[in-house]
Amino acid sequence: MKPAHTITGLITDLTISLVLAIIPLSLLHPELMLSANLPTGGDMASQIFGAKIFVTDIFPQGKLSAWLPEVFGGFPFLSYYFPLPFITMALLAKLLSFAVAFKVTAMLGIIVLPAIVYGVGRFLGFHRLSALAGSLGALCFMLHEQHSIWGGNLLSTLAGEFAYSYGMVFSVITLAVWSRGIKDGRYWVLGGCLEVLVGMSHGYALLVTGFTTTAFLFQTGRFKANFLYLVRTHSLAVLLLGFWLWPLIETGPYITPNDSPYLLNNWQDILPMTVRPVLIAGLLAIFITPLIPNVRRGWTTDRIDHALLFLFGGVIALVGWFASERIGLADIRFFPYAWLMGCVVSGWFFGNLLERLIITLPARGLAGIGLLFLTLGFLSLEVRQAPHWTLWNHSGLESKVMWPTLEQLFPKLKGDLNSPRLVFEHDPDNNDLGSTRVLETLPMFLGGRPVLEGLYMESAPLGPVIYQLQSEISARPSSPLSQFPSGSLDPVRAALHMAVLNTQDILVRSDNAKKELTKSGLYEIIGGSPPFEIYRLKDFSNSYVTPINGPVSVTGRQNWKEKSFAWFQKLKSPDDPPLAFLTPQQTQERQGLAWPEPTGIERIQAVSGVTIERERIRFTTSAIGVPHLIRFGFNPRWQSKNGETIYLVSPGYMMVVPAHREVELFYGSTKVMRWGKIASVLALFFILGYGLFFVLQRRGQHLIEETHRSNSRFSRRWWLIRLTAIPLLLMACGGLYFQSPKRVYQRGHQYFRSQKYEEAARYFDQAFAGRHVKAQKEEALFWAARSLDLDDQKEEAAQRYRLLTEEYHAYWVPESLYRLAMIDESLDRPDQVAVGLDRLRQEFPRNRWTMLAEQIHGR
Amino acid sequence: MRTRIFPAIRISVAVMWLLLPASGFAGTLDFKIVPAGETLIRVEQAGNDTAYRATIYSLTAGWNWLQLSPSGASRNNISPVWPPGIRHHYVLPDADKNQRPLLIVFHDKSGITFSKLIRLTGTDPAWPDGLQAKRRDSGDLVVSGSLPTFPSGLRYGLLQPVDSALAALKTTFTANRPPIAPLLVTTGATTLKTKPMNNLWFYCEWQNATNQEKSELQWATLFFPGTKESIMGGIPYWLSPRIWFSLGGASLAAALAITIMTLLKNRPAHPSSPMTERNG
């Protein structure tokens, strides 16, 4: 190849890449991205708070994660979420203002994805037309508007899932590097490094990318070589990621999994409009390819291998989608990879078809332009919401209708880290602030005063109880944690729970909530700016650290979140002693000994000088040896300077038994974390050494251009063997689907809606048996009971209601108690009716089912 | 090459001309974005020279679309159909009670008067509670008062005569503080006729406006979706879908034409031809 041609080719490729980057950029209102307004929309509004702290505080200290006490009663920020976009943001913020750096970073993955897919296609040896078609396939995926929370597309990114788009970009690059390097053992270090970037971008990207590499083990006659290659590259990645991944795995049990299954509404859910023509074109090309010799010849074995690897990635994503319910992961996070990979491979096949049918270079150029224009024409008809979403997001928080109104309240709400927490009503109307999640970013405007809700609910040990409280002060609560369904408006319970969560003020918006709060008499209005009002709890004392009043019950750490949630719901007084969840080692150390209780005076005056910093809590106490409740979320990284053990207690707080008057707790490192850091440093040294060795070895040698390029051509046998692997995997997916509890549950509801209650009950029973998450089991059990109830099989129904009320504790319990009482009454079992009603009155006094039961019983 | 490319260009131009007149295509497709949902309000502008109407359609997912249908050509026969290739829709940020959009129609230079305020939730053309309408001697319709349910910031001087309303807008649209409520600003029919269609939205032409005032009013576009991209379609908005399809179809046609011509030119001689026999 002559150098002139190389330069021309490079310029052509760069031009195409630039055009491919300009297309998504043109949708993003770049002029607004460069404005100083803070972005909003969906989760984005909440992301800005964590990002701001990361850019101004965490990253400058050389750290990639930190304790964030301003939200969720404290939680480990970026220990369970993905730091790469935030690192990018922090670096960009050195050149640009924070708002601009944030917007550019958030959109970067979307802007570059089509161009990256094009580059990957070229890197893998595809002709420009094929590479372009692949990237246009990716563009079509990226601009679909079927979903806005699944990840990967523009709408999802605008909704705040920018880390996901980073994961996709690095996943595609990493797979390409491995696919090309594995044949002769090259690029394994680069592949390992790229896998680190995948992992630091998004967990699901890491899962899909990692499992996709198993495809290499099936390459004929290369099992051992490929296996060793994968061991090397994955090991390097695991070591490099040690500083972040190892502690994540160690402290994983403190996460609340986000595993609520998505119930499909219709087939369009899985085949968005913009994806359909791409897949159809790809399928057509796949079937036409073997029939036309010239087209067939375009597929070298290398290209087939690359395409099959990406296709395998898509199938892995499908397997993840179907298996997620069984393994406790979010199914919707897998599916976008099936779309992306399917679209890219379809593009490659269709591009090859065009390339082989159109034989001259200018004609191919024209065909490429034609393909680009047709895609743009199609997309401009289908892309409806994205331009408006970007305008909404990038015009900024400051431009929204209610923002000035809310700002007027800031002086009233201001405080610092030591101030009592603020809780706000969840109200969909808050979208006029830019997003319903804008209030989660309030600490940024309130001098660091903590609020209860935040964004990373899965990372927060106090998440379930915080959403329970939110539901008690909200007319339209959000209840986002499927495992811990929350309740309904109940200002009396809310007052109790606010005291437990050291929360003094409520920011309310809805008339209904205002009415109920006023009616309760427990709150006073301290300010307002219509439609917002601030309600303050009347009987409140700010106490982040208190001696525990009463004997602390001890139990094992298993299911501590469920036990905590149940404890929180059954609280009688804010001073109720918590449950302590001990590890086996702690249990052994305690040897059944009880902790002493504080004396009367100690309860009131023991603790003084409480100082809260981001990763440090200090206080002085006179109640030495008495358990103290630290009203911040527990994490194993918290340690005491004096060496006291820090216990996990309900509802997710820390407890310490001071051995000295002065107590200082700090957010440090665990042993695994320290080992992880050592592993990362060693791996970095290895890479440096390897790089040096590589350079020295190659010095003086002629740079040899790529010599390994298998040009072995297409053979029908090769084609058929490889293509049959994909349907087999798809059949496996089908098998998983038909066995899926999600599908069974959906079928149950179909029968239920058709009033075929007996069949419905059978499906719900099956779903109950197949599901693993407790709240989901409870849901299936309820509907099985309800179906049997409606089918007049009262005893069978009562059996299930009883099981539910005895073994479960979440959303369906009050209704089950009520329905069980009704069945017991119909079967003339007055004692059991009384037991059920008593429980309703005691545990759910203001629940609508209790009120209904009172009405009927009274009548 | 020359012989191959020029016929190809001719073919592609022909294809483009075949595709371009297939109008209604873009316009028809545009309309599918507006579902036949509930019409929440319809404002008929009765002014002699103002021939358009505003219709707000409800859309699922909490988004509303306001569609303006100007039809200057048939002022007495208002058509909901847009001129081919141009789509006008407007997404309201949220259609809840606190975000009622206002449509302010200012008179144009000819001094024809018409100002009206509409409420999203009302179908009654009467003025909303709390507002008074009064026709001035000059013919201007002056609306004053406040809407109790609106955010407090909106209560000042809305829909006063053009000058004062613009002054109010001007104070609102400061550099970093775009308008605080959904507020649509457009001009009367004369302006519509004389200005390019894509300047319809937020085009405020008023007498004696300085460039500074105009630049401040640009901030309106920060707040309201509905400028270029809404008018011209989705992405990339500088051309309509119809043009993209025409160009794409033409390019592909040209590519095929080149290929066919190349194949024809390079067609190998038939094995049984005299030439083959001679060479053989």
Mean per-residue pLDDT, A232-240: 95
In sequence order, the β-bridge partners of residue A688 are none
The two beta strands, A616-621 and A628-633, are unpaired
* B1 assigned to some structural domain: no
Percent of chain A at pLDDT > 90 equals: 57
Residue of A nearest to B243 (CA): A377
User: How many domains are there within chain B?
Assistant: 1
* Residue that the structure tokens 């499992």 belong to: A211
Is A391's Cβ below 8 Å from some Cβ in B?
Answer: yes
pLDDT above 90 covers a percentage of chain B that reads: 0
Q: What is the pLDDT of residue A164?
A: 96
Measured between alpha carbons, how far is A140 from A336 in angstroms, rounded to an integer? 12
The answer to whether residue B251 sits within a structural domain is no
Q: Are B74 and B83 a contacting pair, CB within 8 Å?
A: no
Q: pLDDT-based confidence at B7, cuts 50/70/90?
A: low
CB < 8 Å to A388, chain B: 91, 225, 230
- Give the residue among A121, A173, A141, A200 at the shortest CA–CA distance from A336: A141
pLDDT > 70? residue A87: yes
For an interface test with B, which of A25, A366, A398, A403 has the most B Cβ atoms less than 10 Å from its Cβ? A366
- As a whole number, mean pLDDT of residues B2-26 equals 50
Alpha carbon of A385 to those of A25, A137, A372: distances in Å? 15, 20, 21
* Contact indicator for A505, A419 with CB cutoff of 8 Å: no
Rounded to the nearest angstrom, the gap between the alpha carbon of residue A146 and the centroid of all alpha carbons in its chain is 19
Q: How far is A281 from chain B (nearest CA, A)?
A: 15
Which of residues A261 and B18 earns the better pLDDT score?
A: A261
Report the pLDDT value the prediction gives residue A171, as an integer from 0 to 100. Answer: 97
Tokens of A682: 């060693």
Q: What residues does B244 pair with on adjacent strands? A: none
- Collapsing DSSP states into helix, strand and coil, what is residue B106? strand
Residue B273 within a domain: no
Number of alpha helices (DSSP H) and beta strands (DSSP E) in chain B: 9, 8
Q: Is some CB atom of chain A closer than 8 A to the CB atom of B22?
A: no
User: What is the residue whose two structure tokens read 């937020």?
Assistant: B202
* Cβ-defined contact of A363 to B252 (cutoff 8 Å): no
Taking CB atoms and an 8 Å limit, are A404 and B182 in contact across chains?
no
Provide the phi-psi class of A643: left if phi over 0, else alpha when psi is between -120 and 50, else beta.
left
Give the pLDDT score at B204: 29
pLDDT value for A369 = 93
The pLDDT value given to residue B143: 39
β-pair partners for A819? none
| B256 inside domain | no
Over the stretch B28-58, which tens digit does the pLDDT of each residue have? Answer: 222 222 222 222 222 222 222 222 222 222 2
Peptide bond into A577 cis (omega under 30): no
What gap in Å lies between CA B47 and CA B53, rounded to an integer? Answer: 11
Residue numbers of B between 35 and 74 with CB closer than 8 Å to A: 62-63
Between chain A and chain B, how many beta carbons pairs sit less than 8 Å apart?
175
The Cα B50–Cα B192 span in angstroms is 9
Question: What would the two tokens of residue A770 be?
Answer: 């197949």
Task: Say if CB A69 and CB A58 are below 8 A apart.
Answer: no
Q: How far is A796 from A779, CA to CA, in rounded Å?
A: 17
Tokens found for residue A342: 């399917």
**B7 Cα distance to chain centroid:** 38
**Are residues A2 and A66 in contact, defined by beta-carbon separation less than 8 angstroms?**
no
DSSP A790-817: HTT-HHHHHHHHHHHHHH--STTHHHHH
Range among A25-39, A199-213, A370-384 with highest mean pLDDT value: A199-213
**Alpha-carbon gap: A809 to the closest alpha carbon of chain B (Å):** 32
Give pLDDT, residue B8.
61
Q: How far apart are the first and last CA of chain B?
A: 31
The per-residue pLDDT for B5 is 53
Find the radius of gyration of the CA atoms of chain B.
Answer: 26
Taking alpha carbons only, the member of A439, A446, A467, A474 closest to residue A46 is A439
User: A78 or B63: whose pLDDT is higher?
Assistant: A78
Using DSSP, state whether A304 is helix, strand or coil: helix
Q: Which of residues 206-265 of B touch A (CB under 8 A)?
A: 219, 222-225, 229-230, 233-237, 240-245, 247-256, 258-259, 262-263
Mean pLDDT, residues A110-133: 96
Average pLDDT value for residue range A151-162: 94
Report whether pLDDT(A343) > 90: yes
Alpha-carbon distance A1 to A9, whole Å?
11
CB atoms within 10 A of CB B279: 8
Residue B247 falls inside a structural domain: no
* pLDDT at residue A737, rounded to an integer: 73
User: Considering only alpha carbons, which residue of chain B is nearest residue A397?
Assistant: B177
ipTM > 0.95, yes or no: no
Percent of chain A with pLDDT over 70: 94
What pLDDT, in 10s, does the model give residues A674-709? 999 999 999 999 999 888 887 776 654 443 344 344
How many CB atoms neighbour CB A338 within 10 A? 24
- Tell me if the bond preceding A531 is cis, omega within 30° of 0: yes
Q: Which pLDDT belongs to residue B132?
A: 43
Q: What is the mean pLDDT of residues A433-445?
A: 92
Q: Rounded to whole angstroms, what are the CA distances from A13 to A8, A318, A487, A775, A849?
A: 9, 32, 57, 52, 66
Residues of B in contact with A382 (CB under 8 A): 234
Confidence of residue A723 (pLDDT cuts 50, 70, 90): low
Q: What is the pLDDT of residue B6?
A: 58
pLDDT of residue A141: 96
pLDDT(A848) > 50: yes
Binned at pLDDT 50, 70 and 90, residue A596 comes out as confident
Q: Which two tokens stand for residue A535?
A: 């309600």
Of A277, A296, A179, A265, which Cα lies nearest the Cα of A229?
Answer: A179
Token pair of A512, please? Answer: 């209904």
In this prediction, residue A635 carries a pLDDT of: 93
Find, in chain B, the residue whose alpha carbon is nearest to that of A27. Answer: B235
Domains of chain A: 13-36+97-222+247-390 (no CATH), 402-537 (no CATH), 545-667 (no CATH), 741-858 (1.25.40.10)
B253 lies in some domain:
no
What does the H/E/C string look like for A652-705? CEEEECCCCCEEEEEECCCHHHHHHHHHHHHHHHHHHHHHHHHHHHHCCCCCCC
Asked whether the predicted pLDDT for residue A116 surpasses 80, the reply is: yes
- Going by pLDDT thresholds of 50, 70 and 90, the confidence category of residue B10 is low
Residue ranges of the alpha helices (H) in B20-115? 25-31
The 10s digit of each residue's pLDDT in B141-196 is 333 433 322 222 222 222 223 334 344 444 433 333 333 233 333 333 323 223 32
Residue B93, chain A, CB below 8 Å: the answer is yes
Task: Give the pLDDT confidence score for residue B97 in this predicted structure.
Answer: 31
pLDDT for A174 beyond 90: yes
DSSP letter, residue A504: E
Whether B127 has its CB under 8 Å from any CB of chain A: the answer is: no
Has residue B114 been placed in a domain? yes
Domain-located, residue B18: no
At residue B19, does pLDDT exceed 60? no
User: Residue A821: is its pLDDT beyond 60?
Assistant: yes
